[in-house]
Amino acid sequence: MRMNSQNILFKVAIGMLIALGGPWQSAAQYPTDSLRISLLTCAPGEALYSKFGHSAIRVADPANQTDIVYNYGLFDFDTPNFYVKFIRGKLPYQLGVQSFRQFMWDYEYERREVLETPLHLSPEHQAELLRFLEINYLPENRQYPYDFFFDNCASRIRDVLEKTAAMTYPPKDTMESSKTFRELLDEYIGMYPWINFGIDLILGLPTDQKAGFRGEMFLPDYLAKNLKAGQSIQKPVAAADTLLLSGQTGEPDHKPALTPFLAFALLFAAFALLSGLAPNSKALLLADALFFLALGLAGSLFTFMWAGTDHDATHCNMNLLWANPLAFGAFAALFYPSRRIWPALGALGAAIALMGFPFLPQALHPAVIPIALTVLLRCLYRLGVIPFKPKQALVEAVPG
């Protein structure tokens, strides 16, 4: 899950080595007794894309003086329409080959921990694995359609080992109760409230399915852990981990005082206060306009991520109950009060989200509660269901 790019000089060097029958080709075709294949597990980093860590395969053969890393987490920044393809989930990722030293340089610079897990494979399975990787690295084969949960740098390694080393898992491990994909993500971003909130909003119903033993291995840490249960020829595949590089903790230096729940609870309080003190003011009209526009934009984003992208995890997003493009209709109803259908639909969706919060198949973020309450408050007010007596009238009614 690491986004990386190879520099031009290294690309040229790799091309020359391949053209000349480079050392890793001979290592694959003629494995020696000194050949060592291992899994590299890299700790999460500070950048958002690196919050979940990274996995790669190391192939070291002292007899041939080679030490390289096969890395399924690369993509080409020069891809035409790069950002459009990235957003729509159509950006191809690819298998890359790097020297072990260059691979480690990146993590030394970022001060990220790297663990190595030796893989105990028979000579036949070693040769099969290397042949597979070499064929997979051919220009016509190296690209693949990336999927965050089901086809990434970690799950690819799991699949390769199952295919080339006939790796299996004891039934007792595969049948154990598992967390959902959303719960697994929370283990890594739960301490970052705003990142967690944003990702929770974007990810839809598929994220709330049970991951299962194999599914957990989309995360590099779980790949390293669950491989300990893997067996090939009735022998354990993964040995004990070795620390190659120590790094800093992934914990944030400090947590923000203003969490999403508190921020939107304050927003609800502000709307409730303004509704009571100045129900007919231009300030409240402007606040409603901005609020409904924001809801419409958020709902448009959720709709686009569902209908306009290949990101399966963003489909069937139940946050559309309280934020959807129909909010633009509620915005228009501010200036055309007769169009009551729009705020009525907004109130209905918010009410369903609130009443179904504990029961919906998709786990909504707790901060959705004050947001949905605000939607319900403002829609019911615009429908006249919650009448507020103007403060001016109260003042005029006082004798004196």
364 in a domain, yes or no? Answer: yes
Mark whether 238 and 311 lie in a shared domain. Answer: no
Whether 158 contacts 218, CB under 8 Å: no
Residues 225 and 331 in one domain: no
Give me the helix-helix angle, 341-355 and 368-382, nearest 10°.
150
* Final residue in a domain of this structure, among 210, 245, 280: 245
Plot region of 166 (φ>0 → left; ψ -120 to 50 → alpha; else → beta):
left
Rg (CA), the chain: 27
* 14 and 140 housed in the same domain: yes
Number of domains within the chain: 2
**Residue 91 DSSP one-character state:** P
CA nearest to 116, candidates 38, 59, 55, 62 = 38
Q: Do 240 and 302 share a domain, yes or no? A: no
Q: Side chain identity at 200, as an amino acid letter?
A: D
Residue reference for tokens 């409603």: 288
> Which CA distances in Å does 30 have to 5, 41, 186?
29, 27, 44
Residues 233, 352 within the same domain: no
How many angstroms separate the CA atoms of 121 and 132, rounded? 14
C-alpha closest to that of 153 among 49, 82, 78: 49
Q: What is the pTM of this model?
A: 0.84
Q: pLDDT tens for residues 58-75?
A: 999 998 899 999 999 887
- State whether 85 and 110 are in the same domain: yes
Instruction: Give the pLDDT confidence of 338-362 residue by residue, as tens digits.
Output: 889 999 999 999 999 999 999 999 9
> In which domain, by residue range, is 352 found?
260-391
Residue 252, domain member (yes or no): no
Question: What does the pLDDT look like over 148-164, one tens digit per residue?
Answer: 899 999 999 999 999 99
Q: Does any domain span residue 344?
A: yes
Q: Which of 198, 218, 245 is a domain's end point?
A: 245
CA–CA distance, 320 with 303 (Å, rounded to integer): 8
Per-residue pLDDT of the chain (400 residues; tens, 9 = 90+): 544 444 433 343 334 333 333 334 444 445 667 899 999 999 999 888 889 999 999 999 998 899 999 999 887 777 777 667 767 777 889 999 999 999 999 899 999 999 999 999 999 999 999 999 999 999 999 999 889 899 999 999 999 999 999 999 988 777 666 899 999 999 999 999 999 999 999 999 999 999 999 999 999 999 999 999 999 988 999 999 999 999 876 666 677 889 999 999 999 999 999 998 888 889 999 999 999 999 999 999 999 999 998 899 999 999 999 999 999 999 999 999 888 999 999 999 999 999 999 999 999 999 999 999 999 999 999 998 876 654 443 334 344 4
The reply to whether 241 and 266 lie within a common domain is no
Out of 222, 245, 268, a domain closes at 245
Q: pLDDT by residue (tens digit) across 281-330?
A: 899 999 999 999 999 999 999 999 999 988 999 999 999 999 999 999 99
Measure Cα distances from 309 to 88, 201, 370 in Å.
4, 16, 29
215 and 268 fall within a common domain? no
Closest CA to 29 of 66, 2, 76: 66
Q: Assess if residue 341 is contained within a domain.
A: yes
User: Is residue 136 assigned to a domain?
Assistant: yes
Q: Is residue 399 part of a domain?
A: no
Instruction: Determine, yes or no, domain membership for 398.
Output: no
Residue 112 lies in a domain: yes
